[in-house]
Amino acid sequence: MSAIFDRRSVRSFLPKAIKQDKIERILRAGFQAPSAHNRQLWEFIVISDTADLVAIAEMSPYAKMLPQAAAAIAPCVNLGLEKGPSVEDTWWIQDLSAATENILLQIVDEGLGGVWLGWYPDMARVKVFSERFGLPSHVLPFAVIALGYPANPPQKVDRYDLSKVHYGRY
């Protein structure tokens, strides 16, 4: 459970590349997420080209750290897979959220830092990202995760709040 309590949003990175074996373990964590009806509609785009990271940073005012990141991972939903849902069938949002969180936790286990940048349902961001990376119309970017070696060690925070816990009923 230490990764859960150590995970923080990291937005400042050292100029250091990430080895491929770490990227693979991070991706494997995403694939291990639960999914509704075990549909596993996720696909992941790994981005490490500086020009691409700069381009993504220009797509969202919240992505300005990307040019300093070693890489980004974009969890995407493939709505065209067999038994796939429509965009209105929002169970896939929960699936992709679980995969994204698994990735963030594995990033911590790898000694890295990362931050979850929301993409879907901002259709302007979805469109420009999809065009830049050649996504077919049935594949939508759900999020972009910036990752790398943290420039500053993240501070631990205990967010437990007993006033928000209710037993039996509200």
Closest CA to 146 of 75, 96, 71: 71
In a domain, 16, yes or no: yes
In a domain, 159, yes or no: no
In a domain, 167, yes or no: no
Query: pLDDT for 134-164, tens place per residue?
Result: 999 999 999 999 999 999 988 889 999 999 9
pLDDT recorded at residue 140: 96
Separation CA 168–CA 57 (nearest Å): 45
Separation CA 151–CA 105 (nearest Å): 18
In a domain, 14, yes or no: yes
**Residue 124: pLDDT over 70:** yes
In a domain, 166, yes or no: no
**Residue 84: pLDDT over 90:** no
pLDDT band at residue 81, thresholds of 50, 70 and 90? confident
CATH code where residue 138 lies: 3.40.109.10
Domain count, the chain: 1
**Residue 68 structural domain:** 2-150
Separation CA 119–CA 128 (nearest Å): 11
In a domain, 156, yes or no: no
In a domain, 162, yes or no: no
pTM, 2 dp: 0.94
